[in-house]
Chain A
């Protein structure tokens, strides 16, 4: 899922410095799962903003709201009767949320309160790692289920660069060298020859490199 982290408090406080009344909208999707923008996080951030402003002597009214998701118009619609009662609306959803909200309600200002980072999963409670770069042409089966596009710092597709040490990437000792893992797995499974097979160069047009993408399911379009 999409992993995001809440922005530093200073940045958020700066966004609302001229406001007296704001609405903070959370999302029950990805940001709830990664504990960045769910119900609890909305309540906590709302409290923090109120406390900080009370301390300054300029109270801030913060209305808390949760939407099922902020990436579907039917949920965005739920704010139609209330969005304009505030000086600004803060969204705790991933980057998609504030954009959908802005499009639906052009007269209001929407601020993001999280930094959307990557597509990944939990490796441990509280720790999420990037697994997918959304390249649009998934071929992880060629690498025994380990994606070099997302997990190799250089997105190399033909083999290790030789810069790794003890299975760690030269970019940072905290990054696993995925090619080290891929080669080991291939060796264990007796499929090392797969890496010698000729493959055409990757078509990056299906990735972000080809421009903003669209996905259409013809049978669902009315």
Chain B
């Protein structure tokens, strides 16, 4: 994960866009929690630099 984040940083992409979480398939509510957390985080960072603005 560290390697991926370091590489993203080199490519000028926010490293926090990729995160690794550990949980079991039985942990439904925790999964929902994580999904919300990531969504909020990504929304704060704005559109991914991988989607160049088309105008």
Of B6-14, B22-30, B31-39, the one touching chain A = B6-14
Chain A neighbourhood of B49, CB < 8 A? 55
The closest CB in chain B to the CB of A45 belongs to B7
> Is A52 part of the contact surface with B, judged by Cβ < 8 Å?
yes
Q: B50 is contacted by which of A9, A44, A48, A51 (Cβ under 8 Å)?
A: A51
> Is A57 part of the contact surface with B, judged by Cβ < 8 Å?
yes
**Would A48 and B7 count as touching, CB distance under 8 A?**
yes
> Is A54 part of the contact surface with B, judged by Cβ < 8 Å?
yes
Determine the main DSSP class of A at the interface with B. helix
State the interface size on chain A (CB cutoff 8 A): 8
**Would B11 and A48 count as touching, CB distance under 8 A?**
yes
Chain B neighbourhood of A52, CB < 8 A? 11
**Would B13 and A55 count as touching, CB distance under 8 A?**
yes
Q: B11 is contacted by which of A44, A51, A57 (Cβ under 8 Å)?
A: A51
Give the CA-CA distance A216 to B3 in the complex, in Å: 44
Q: B10 is contacted by which of A9, A44, A54 (Cβ under 8 Å)?
A: A9
**Can you offer 10 A-B residue contacts whose CB atoms are under 8 A?**
A9-B10, A9-B11, A44-B7, A48-B7, A48-B11, A55-B12, A55-B13, A55-B49, A55-B52, A57-B52
A44-B7, A55-B11, A55-B12 known; 12 new pairs, CB 8 Å cut-off, are A9-B10, A9-B11, A48-B11, A51-B11, A51-B13, A51-B50, A54-B50, A55-B13, A55-B49, A55-B50, A55-B52, A57-B52
